[in-house]
Every structure is written in C-alpha cells, then in structure tokens.
Amino acid sequence: MKRTYFGTDGVRGRVGSDYFTPDFVLKLGWAAGRILGANPDSKILIGKDTRISGYMFESALEAGLTAAGVNILMLGPMPSPGIAYLTHTLHAQAGIVISASHNPYEDNGIKFFSADGDKLPDSVELQIEEELTKPITTVASQHIGKAKRIDDAAGRYIEFCKSTFPKNLSLQGLKIVIDCAHGAAYHIAPNVFEELDAEVISIGCQPNGLNINAGVGATAPLLLQQTVLKEKADLGIALDGDGDRLIMVNRHGQILNGDSILYIIARSRQTHKTLYGPVVGTVMSNIGLEIALKNHAIKFERTKVGDRYILERLKATNGILGGEPSGHIICKDRLNTGDGIIAALQVLAVLISSHHDLDALLEDLRIYPQRLVNVQLPYKTDVLATKAVQIAVQQAEESLGDTGRVLLRLSGTEPLLRVMVEGQDEKQVDLLVHQLAATVRESLQSSSTN
C-alpha cells in the first residue's frame, strides 16, 4: 500500500493549501492517537518549532488526540531531537513534532517519534493513513484525554546535550558563533555551549513566527560566515529550524557540511576504538568521503536520502554513526535521531582533545566538486521516465566515467527534482548539472503543452 500523506519525514505541506489545514491535522491527531495511544494510560508528547502556524496546529492536534482518549504532554518550542529524547525518557508512547524543518514559515509539518525516540516505521504510518479514511469519533466523556504542559522541557534537554560531552573537557577559550535559524533551538543551543564555558555569540535567536530559516541557519550560512570572520571566532555552528541539522564554519569562514562533520567524528571514534559497524551515508554523500574513509579502513555504506533510512541501516549492521551532507548526523551511541547540537559537541570534543583546529582534522579528506540544482515541479509528472532525460543522464555518466556520479531524485519533502552531479573537474561538473537541469525543464514544458 502506497502512502498518501507521509513523505520521508512525516507529513508536510503549505499551510492552508492542499490538505494541510487545521481540520486535517485534527483528524491526523485523532488517527495517530487511535494507533499510537491504544492503551488507556497512553500519553503522547507534542513539541513545535517557532513558525506562527505552530499554535494553530498544536491546538488541532490537542483536540484530535484527546478525542481519541490520549493524554498529552505539551513541550512548547523544542528541537526535534529534544522531543525524541523526552519521548523516551518520559516513557511516552510517541512524540509529535510540529515543524517543516528547513522549509520557509509558510510551510509546516507533522512528524512522529516512537516510544524509543525513532522515526515511525512505514507500516505504522500506513496504519495511521488507513485510520484517516474512517469517520472521526470521540471516546466517552470520562475517557477523554487530558493535556499538561511540561515547564522544564528545555532544561532537561540542555542537561542531556551537555552529558554527551566528555566531563574532563571544557570549551573554555573557544569563541563560537551559533546560528539557530530563528528556530526551535533559539533558547537551548546558546545555553548548552555557554554552560560548557565557551564564549558564545548568538545569531538567528530572535524568532517572530515569520523569520524561521529566513537568510539564517544551516540552509543559509552566509551570515554565519560573515560573523565568524568579523568576530574573529574560532568556528561557527548553524542549525536549521528544528535543530536536527548541523553545518559548521571554520575560522576562515569556510563551510563544513555533513560529510566533513561525519568524517571527523568517524576518525575520532576509530582512534578511540568506539566505532562499530559501517559508517552510513546516503546516495548524496560525496565520493571523497567514501574514499577517505576507505583509506583508513573504515567501511562505508549508502542508503536512500533520509535519516530514517540511515537509522534503519545502522540498526541492521550494529553501526553507531551515519549522516547526510545536509547535516543530519546520527550518533547512535548518543541518540537515535539526527541532532545538530550533539553532533557539534562531538566535533568540539575532538578539536579540544586533539589540540588541532578544524583544518588539521580534515587534512586527509578531499571533497570532490558536487553541484546540486533543484528543479521546481509544478505538477505530478514522471519526468525521470522521459527519453530525453534518460539519454542526457546516460551521456553525462559516460562523460564522467569512473570518477564521478549523476543522481536525479524526487524530494520527499518539497515539489522538487534534485539534480546532482559530482566529479573531479569543477567546470565539467558545473556544465553537466546545468545541462541536465535544462533538459528536465524542457521535458516538463513539453509535457505540459501536450
């Protein structure tokens, strides 16, 4: 059975358009409550990021869940990984995050964590979708769920983040710029690093409901780069709207994406003999990361894009470390989901204990030129099946030979086709990716006029 609403990371859409409306979210809460909160004493956590529509959807979820007889613990603004952590430690049956992650404020989403703090398996998401087809009902009045707010949720998560940093180390003497994307980590990340004795300069920490991810954060790191250089900081840390992505900037203002971060942590775990199983990346991971890990006898595997698939592979191989170039880094020996703050702390622990800067930690890693172009999809179409696109892909692959890769994939969260080309020669990569994107656009235009 194919999922109708759930994508790679929950349900997501433009607020008020298509199906993503308050009445739909109310029924989604009811359906989720019926599946995830089947026991009489069930409780489900609800947290959100800072976008303005979060208030509306929080109320809708509350109504749906309580109608299904489920008790609710309200967390307020919290990073997604913080909600995963609290779902597990508070012994809840599930956690719900109201967030569209790195998307603009006009979008929002609903994603779920299981009792163990994992993403829900496909089978459970299908059960929720099946429940959505049924008419909504309300349990008897004496069984209606209750809602309670957890006032110290942020403090609990801050202490957990700090616990993942070695007790014998301190960030004293480090000057760090932290960009929270005006998102869910705005009141958490600066406190974590300050309480570990770093000198912290905060940007992107003034959410107003409309500015989440707007020119700040992991998807727009220019301001972070400029601030690191201006303040002569040792490094910069950028999170996205819900705090599960991490991008770093070195003291020269150069960006370190998820591949570089993953390499630093992997080599450290290997040195300390705490690296188990393969390091797991995705089809988007740079071939340079794979080569560098191989040179150090570290096995590397790829999955589909999405941290849920990385976690599935880590579980299957008894691995502890995986991640995506976009900055989702899973340190499974710390938490079962991507966590930007925790990943940053792992890198800083390596930096402090080794007495090296970020440049030195990446000396053995050569990132191959990789270009990604997003092509907007105005309607549902199987553009990948068109002959012109298939021929263009084949020609590009032949041009690159064994020293590069071509990947065209549909986004699981947005109406986009992502066109990626990777190879040794930057000019060739640039030329090929724009040629492929142009072919895709031409095919879309041709099919729309037929």
What residues are annotated to the active site?
Answer: 101
Query: Taking each helix axis from N to C terminus, what angle separates 54-67 and 22-36, rounded to the nearest 10 degrees?
Result: 40
Q: Quickly count: other Cβ atoms within 10 Å of residue 352's Cβ.
A: 19
Residue 390 sits at φ, ψ, to 5 deg, of -60, -40
- In whole angstroms, give the CA distance from residue 89 to residue 335: 12
Q: Which are the contacts of 15, defined by CB distance < 8 A and separation ≥ 6?
A: 53, 106, 107, 108
Name residue, tokens 């008020």: 16
Name residue, tokens 């092509």: 375
- In whole angstroms, give the CA distance from residue 149 to residue 157: 15
- In whole angstroms, give the CA distance from residue 188 to residue 210: 20
DSSP 443: H
Q: Are 306 and 314 in contact (CB under 8 A)?
A: no
Task: Characterise 338 by phi-psi region: left (phi > 0), alpha (psi -120 to 50), beta (else).
Answer: beta
Element (H, E) at 438: helix 426-449
